Amino acid sequence: QTLDSRTVEAVGKYIKDGRAKRIVVMTGAGISTSAGIPDFRSPGTGLYANLQRLKLPYAEAVFTLDYFRNNPLPFYILAQELYPGQFRPTITHAFINLLNEKGILLKLFTQNIDCLEREAGVPDDKIIEAHGSFANQSCIDCKGSFPKDLMLKAINEKSVPHCLHKSPSGEPCDGLVKPNIVFFGEQLPGAFFDNRDLPSTADLIIVMGTSLSVAPFSQLPSFAHDGTPRVLINSEAVGGLGSRTDDVLMLGDCDGQVRKLAEACGWLEELEAMWAM
Ligand code: OAD
């Protein structure tokens, strides 16, 4: 056993003793619910439970490529609500930034498209946006890029943008444009596959706010070596975490549990100050 016990105090001691120098953090929608962004699968409050108005055949269709191809409007109705810039990072996001400032964040793998980790200060080169982001957009047919300002206009107007590119013979492409967030039926970004072995080189894994129900992201914690402590901060146990000797389950609200972890590291005041800025 690597940790003295399977408690937050033992994790705090492990970090304070300088044994965690390469921390890999994995996040999902649960770290942003307290910022006001719904997660996907929580019964009642999750996005998938509240899409009746879009009249979808099934909830995940709104993020499914085949469905989008025939009916892109529901996505654009939702896109306006999800578009980054309207929300403030939580103390959980600030904690990831604190790990980076302490020089012990190896990588953050996020499934989120809200860009709140970045907004909290985590630098680009530390973030793997496994499910893409709203940062760029392209045509689903010719893959050509599309201007940002026209994308913003489409999102504001809840209208569907079409590709402006022409084929070599001068034919307009006119394909559907979508933000480069990963839909079901699409490959994850190359950066995910280039870095997916990093958990095996980590000395601490922290998984927060995810149901770990979407592969291949859900496999990341299993790449950690036996003996590498894995901490789960989530309202429910997920993904088989807890099955190893050095797994620590911190079940409850992310922000509250993160404060406990920061306290165990002796960083709570610093974290609160950083978040308040
Ligand atoms: P989910 O909605 O599947 O899971 C969120 C998890 O966070 C659940 O286990 C919740 O119980 C938990 N949770 C919510 N709020 C919390 C809080 N304040 N404190 C602690 N726990 C909390 O979201 P993801 O796991 O991120 O993909 O979903 C994964 C992917 O499925 C998303 O990236 C998205 C979706 O379909 C695509 O669209 C491609």
158, 193 contact by CB (below 8 A): no
Q: 247 among the known binding-site residues? A: no
Which ligand 1 atom lies nearest to the CA of residue 34?
Answer: 18
What is the pLDDT, as a whole number, of residue 84?
Answer: 84
Sign of the Cα pseudo-torsion (134, 135, 141, 146, in order): positive
Cα of 149 to ligand 1 centre, how many Å? 30
- Is 192 touching ligand 1 by the criterion CB < 6 Å? no
Cα of 174 to ligand 1 centre, how many Å? 34
- Is 33 touching ligand 1 by the criterion CB < 6 Å? yes
What is the pLDDT, as a whole number, of residue 167?
Answer: 85
Place of tokens 């920061």: 262
What is the pLDDT, as a whole number, of residue 80?
Answer: 87
Is 131 marked active-site?
A: yes
d(Cα 182, Cα 194) in Å, to the nearest integer?
17
Atom 11 in ligand 1: which residue has the minimum CA distance?
Answer: 235
Considering the entire predicted model, what is its pTM? Answer: 0.95
Alpha carbon 270 to its chain's center: 24
Sheet of 247-251, strands arranged across: 127-129, 105-110, 23-27, 204-208, 230-234, 247-251
What is the pLDDT, as a whole number, of residue 86?
Answer: 85
Averaged in consecutive runs of 10 residues, what is the pLDDT profile of the chain (277 residues)? Answer: 96 98 98 95 91 91 96 92 89 98 98 94 98 93 95 93 92 95 95 98 98 97 97 98 98 98 98 93
Q: 31 among the known binding-site residues? A: yes
Atom 35 in ligand 1: which residue has the minimum CA distance?
Answer: 40
* Main-chain dihedrals φ then ψ at residue 263, nearest 5 degrees: -65, -45
How many residues are listed for the chain in this entry? 277
What is the pLDDT, as a whole number, of residue 59?
Answer: 92
What is the pLDDT, as a whole number, of residue 74?
Answer: 93
Place of tokens 């901490």: 231
What is the pLDDT, as a whole number, of residue 85?
Answer: 83
What is the pLDDT, as a whole number, of residue 41?
Answer: 94
What is the pLDDT, as a whole number, of residue 44?
Answer: 92
Which ligand 1 atom lies nearest to the CA of residue 41?
Answer: 2
What is the pLDDT, as a whole number, of residue 53?
Answer: 87
What is the 3 state secondary structure string of the chain?
CCCCCCCHHHHHHHHHCCCCCCEEEEECHHHCHHHCCCCCCCCCCCHHHCCHHHCCCCHHHHHEHHHHHHCCHHHHHHHHHHCCCCCCCCHHHHHHHHHHHCCCEEEEEECCCCCHHHHCCCCHHHEEECCEEEEEEEECCCCCECCHHHHHHHHHHCCCCECCCECCCCCECCCEEEEEECCECCCCCHHHHHHCCHHHHCCEEEEECCCCCCCCHHHHHHHCCCCCCEEEEECCCCCCCCCCCCEEEEECCHHHHHHHHHHHHCCHHHHHHHHHC
